[in-house]
Amino acid sequence: MPNLMTNVQPPLQFLPPDFQPGVLKFTQWIVPWWIRLKTPITQIDAENVEQLVELYQKFQQEKIRFLLAFRHPNPDDPLPISQLIWRKVPGQARKQNITLKSPVHAHFMYDRGIPLWAGNYVTWLFPKLGGTSILRGKLDRKGLKSARNLFANGRFPMAAAPEGATNGLNYQVSPLEPGIAQLGFWCVEDLEKAQRCEDVFIVPLGIQYHYLQENWQALAQVLGQIETDCGLTNNNSQPTPSALYPRLVNLGNYLLDLMENFYRQYYHQPIPKNTNEELPIRLQRLLDIALQVAESYFAIQPKGSLTERCRRLEQTGWDYIYREDIKDAESLSPVERGLANRIAEEASLRMWHMRLVESFVAVSGKYVQENPTFDRFAQITIIIWTMIMRLKGGNPNRTPYLGKQRVEITVGEPISVSQRWSDYKTNRRQAVENLTQQLQSSLEKMSQPQSKPDK
């Protein structure tokens, strides 16, 4: 998450792809070291890689175009996915005696906001790796045009996260944005206009994180720290699921009471008191109200899902901070600049409410109760920890260490976009909706615990 902005900024510029093979080679060398030193990931497994090898072979033979639509539960997702593409696909191709042209790589779409919190080096690196930026909360014509061109004409296949943002959960897929399906149909349209015969596919890519050991003691310590931060009594119960779950529920109820009072008292929201409503109902109402508080400031009408509302708020806030109407802040008079800075700071403060909601958009309130495994406990605990850090004004990106992790990537069955072209020509909106729903179903199927058990 970007830090609080107190000064007006120049407008966010589109970052066009500028692929550099030398940069790719260096990145391919350094990423395994980065994973080892900077993440808890120690093992990356992949299923159905043979299918991805076949897809790359057909792509290089100019028979197909495809986009990898990957699940996005964790900010680290690009790292294991890079190892799937750069290492496991070429390795599997050699086993199958299939020759793939080097480099095996993928263009990718990324949120223009990532360099704002990841660092300036990302502003330089991602374009050099063939990435193209996109503004998620508005019609980004330059970004869409670039992504559309790469899908139809790029040197490599495409990769993108249809959820649009991380949700922190292995087994819960956020509602997908329709942009990926629309890009697929645009690719078919562009190929048809160019009288090219490649088939177009969207390939679902599942990804899950599993702790190698169930470190309940470490989890109990994180819960204890959260309880201390909240002023709650830590009963030092045994670090077992049956003992920790009541503490997790108690913590959830306390935070709901706290935040309901916060919005009731200081933002004058009509939240009922002392109800017997279940936690999931209260949580969803609180998320809705937090967004309304920010939307009322920006004069935005609540519309769409929580995720869609978050994206719209984010973009509007950026419009207040990264001013299109101010090309050179230095040319402003001191008074004008002071007012512009005040607007930027106020917008940044209002976006704080959206950031809180962003962390909880996929939380149902029953995620642990449905299957109280260590992985689920850890995921919800880290989401709560992130919220506490935002409330304290700390750094929510430095999550607590709960042990080494194994990443499991699953290559799903390709979904043909070309076969749906006639449906698209008949009813574009419905065709995009149907394709998005099929992709949602595919990702959800790969995310089910019975097919990917906790370990």
Summarised one tens digit per residue, pLDDT across range 358-390 is 878 777 778 888 889 999 999 999 999 998 998
Average model confidence (pLDDT) across the chain? 92
Q: Dump pLDDT digits (tens) for 184-236.
A: 999 999 999 999 999 999 999 999 999 999 999 999 999 999 999 999 987 67
CB-based contacts of 341-345 (< 8 A; 24+ apart in sequence) = 341/6, 341/7, 341/8, 343/8, 344/5, 344/6, 344/7, 344/8, 344/9, 344/320, 345/4, 345/5, 345/6, 345/7
Non-local CB neighbours of 8 within 8 Å, separated by 6+ positions: 321, 323, 326, 329, 337, 340, 341, 343, 344
Highest mean pLDDT among 22-36, 169-183, 354-368: 22-36
DSSP 3-state of 158: strand
Examine the pLDDT at 451 and tell me if it is beyond 90.
Answer: no
When pLDDT is cut at 50, 70 and 90, the band that residue 1 belongs to is very low
Q: Is the peptide bond before 272 cis (omega within 30 degrees of 0)?
A: no
Non-local CB neighbours of 357 within 8 Å, separated by 6+ positions: 287, 290, 291, 306, 310
Q: Dump pLDDT digits (tens) for 284-336.
A: 999 999 999 999 999 999 998 888 899 999 999 999 999 988 888 888 999 99
Report pLDDT for 455: 41
Examine the pLDDT at 264 and tell me if it is beyond 60.
Answer: yes
Q: What are the residue ranges of CATH 3.40.1130.10 in the chain?
A: 21-212+403-446
Q: Dump pLDDT digits (tens) for 335-359.
A: 999 999 999 999 999 999 999 898 7
CATH 3.60.21.10 for the 21-212+403-446 domain, yes or no: no
Q: Which residue has the higher pLDDT, 275 or 260?
A: 260
Report pLDDT for 2: 46
Question: Percentage of the chain with pLDDT > 90?
Answer: 74
Report pLDDT for 450: 53
H or E, element range at 260: helix 241-266
Q: What is the pTM of this model?
A: 0.91
DSSP 3-state of 431: helix
| C-alpha to C-alpha distance for 400 and 266, rounded to whole angstroms | 31
Examine the pLDDT at 453 and tell me if it is beyond 50.
Answer: no
| C-alpha to C-alpha distance for 395 and 392, rounded to whole angstroms | 9
Report pLDDT for 340: 94
- Picking from 47-61, 88-102, 269-283, which range would have the lowest pLDDT averaged per residue? 269-283
Phi then psi dihedrals of residue 295, to 5 deg: -65, -35
Buried residues in 444-453 as b, exposed as e (16+ CB within 10 A): bebbeeeebe
When pLDDT is cut at 50, 70 and 90, the band that residue 436 belongs to is very high
Report pLDDT for 165: 84
Q: Dump pLDDT digits (tens) for 242-258.
A: 889 999 989 988 999 99
* Structural contact between residues 306 and 288, judged by C-beta atoms closer than 8 angstroms: yes
When pLDDT is cut at 50, 70 and 90, the band that residue 97 belongs to is very high
> Residue type for 14, please?
F
- For the four alpha carbons of 391, 393, 399 and 400, in that order, the dihedral sign comes to negative
Examine the pLDDT at 43 and tell me if it is beyond 90.
Answer: yes
| C-alpha to C-alpha distance for 107 and 68, rounded to whole angstroms | 10
Examine the pLDDT at 119 and tell me if it is beyond 70.
Answer: yes
Buried residues in 277-287 as b, exposed as e (16+ CB within 10 A): eebeebbebbb
| C-alpha to C-alpha distance for 151 and 172, rounded to whole angstroms | 28
- Where do we find the tokens 């512009």? 340
- Picking from 157-161, 281-285, 433-437, which range would have the lowest pLDDT averaged per residue? 281-285
Examine the pLDDT at 18 and tell me if it is beyond 90.
Answer: yes
